[in-house]
Structure 1
Amino acid sequence: MDQGFTIPKFQLPGFIARIGEKLPQWPHAVALTTALNAAAKLGLLPEDSLAAMEGKTFVVQVYDTGGQAAFTYRGGFFRPLFRPAGTPDLAFRANLSAFLQVATRQEDPDTLFFNRELSIEGDTELGLIVKNMLDAIDLSQLKPRLPQLPRSLPFISQR
């Protein structure tokens, strides 16, 4: 992330969450599990942490968008849960700005948790494993592994 850019704390207007809650939630789970599987395939997620997640269920809920992603880790893959049943083993809940701040490493999850901006519910040991796994990701490893776009794309006019 650019050092000069910071993500401010914000909350989207309430009507967005009310609309978002009425929309299908499975696309969120598909997108998140696709990203997590790509990170695992690139070797960014520690194998021992993944093994500890086997058979566990997770929920990531974004309060101010009304979005929720439910998924599991089974057989070496993150898999979306289209009809989650029961209480997940671990749930993370926050507003969009908090998740963006964690993703860009602008804020530590512990700080957001103690400031009551991030809710973590469920298996404490599993939560610690996930937090340590995310902390261990070296984002600088990601950039060289991303495919480079060609300088000119045939479908874009160069005029």
Structure 2
Amino acid sequence: MTMLTGLMSRVHRHMPAPARALPFVLAVEAMRRSGWLEPPAALNGHTFRLTVEDIGLEVRFRCVDGRFAPGPFDGSASDLTLRAKVADYLRLISGDADTDTLFFQRRLSISGDTELGLEVKYWLDAAPRPTWVGPFAARLSVLFPAPATAS
């Protein structure tokens, strides 16, 4: 754990769930409004939990009428949970890795509704990415280096 991930982990533990979810939901909603992260109809009405293991961040959100919204925060189970480390989410966002690669390398965990998981997988893999996303994710990845693998 780097000093940055340790600090972020400590901060997230003390933040209320809505405050942890809001920046993420605002970002994906902005991406949806810009036209490059349009959720398929199959996501509508479902709840999701995104866990970023190395910084201790858990974000709960839902898709309502084709839009992203925070919550629910009532302790109910999510329909689908995605779990990975920052570096792996950045590889996914930039298009450097797809969900299958990360899943079979055991770097991305998907649990919950299997059919919904497949819908999310196909959607994430097929989503067009603006040209600036790759370089932006690469710059961020410097802050969250992936651990070296044993050879």
Please point out which of 91, 94, 100 is paired with 1:104: 94
**Structure 2 residue 36 is the aligned partner of structure 1 residue 54:** no
Aligned to 1:150: none
TM-score where L is the length of structure 1:
0.71
Q: Is 1:138 equivalent to 2:128 in the alignment?
A: yes
Change (3 A) 1:82 1:124: closer
The letter of the residue matching 1:22 is: H
Amino acid at match of 2:51: Q
Aligned to 1:78: 68
Q: 1:36 aligns with which of 19, 23, 28?
A: 28
Shift of 1:25: 3.4
Unaligned residue ranges in structure 1 (runs of 5+): 1-10, 144-159
Superimposed CA distance per residue, residues 38-58 of structure 1 (whole angstroms, 9 cap, x where no aligned partner): 2222222346x1x21111000
Which has the higher mean CA deviation after the structures are superposed, 72-81 or 54-63? 72-81
1:88 maps to a residue whose letter is: S
1 or 2, which has the higher helix percentage?
2
**Partners of 2:100 and 2:2 in 1: how far apart?**
23
Over aligned residue pairs, what C-alpha RMSD do you find?
2.4
2:118 maps to 128
Kindly name which structure, 1 or 2, has the bigger radius of gyration based on alpha carbons: 1
1:68 aligns with 2:58: yes
CA distance in 2, matches of 1:127, 1:72: 14
Q: Is contact 2:62-2:72 (8 Å) kept?
A: no
SS at match of 2:96: coil
Identity over aligned pairs, percent: 35
1:24 aligned partner:
16
Q: Tell me the matched-pair count.
A: 131
